[in-house]
Amino acid sequence: MRRLPALALLLAACSSAELALPSEPLAGGRLVRDETAHAQTDSLSYTLVPEGPGHRARIAIAYTNALRERVFVVNCNGATNIRLEKLVDGRWTHVWSPVLPQCLSAPIVVEPGATHHTVVELWGAAPGGNHAPVFAATNFEGTYRLVWGEVVMRYDPSRHPFGEAVPAELRTSNRFVMR
């Protein structure tokens, strides 16, 4: 019990990017959903299935705007920049991003307290080939999260970036495992 105050001070001193995390958030041998994440996936476990020169998984995700003002998701015909990160040696590492068309559609508007639903069609090839997008590595087993890119406040299409970025912790998903 005496260690708890010291642990609380240590955690308060670390930013979430610097905090060493366990490889899988487990309780009783099972993955536990992080209900505090503002982006929630439809499952806590996914299997990458071989498809052509790569692997595929389909991940439904719901983003809830926790701010008191509307936010805007920058997109091209509905395609958004949602990247995949893997927990490696206690650090979140970028391992996949979609290939996006180069256009600018009207932003997806998410009102305060509202939720936007979409599906991430995760497909990637092994590194070193001539296909895109690629996974950073082919060791898929592990703990992951999705991070929504280009979610902004006070959208202005005449400048880049298109507004003030919503803090990363407000556009990051719960953890999940992938095999």
pLDDT for 25 equals 54
What residues does each domain of the chain span? 22-178
Kindly report, residue by residue over 15-72, the tens digit of the pLDDT: 333 323 344 455 555 789 999 999 999 999 999 999 999 999 999 999 999 999 999 9
Identity of residue 46: Y
User: What is the overall mean pLDDT for the chain?
Assistant: 86
Close Cβ partners of 60 (under 8 Å, ≥ 6 residues apart): 41, 42, 117, 118, 119, 120
- Supply the pTM of this predicted model: 0.82
Q: CATH number of the domain at 22-178, out of 1.20.120, 2.60.40, 1.10.150, 2.30.110?
A: 2.60.40
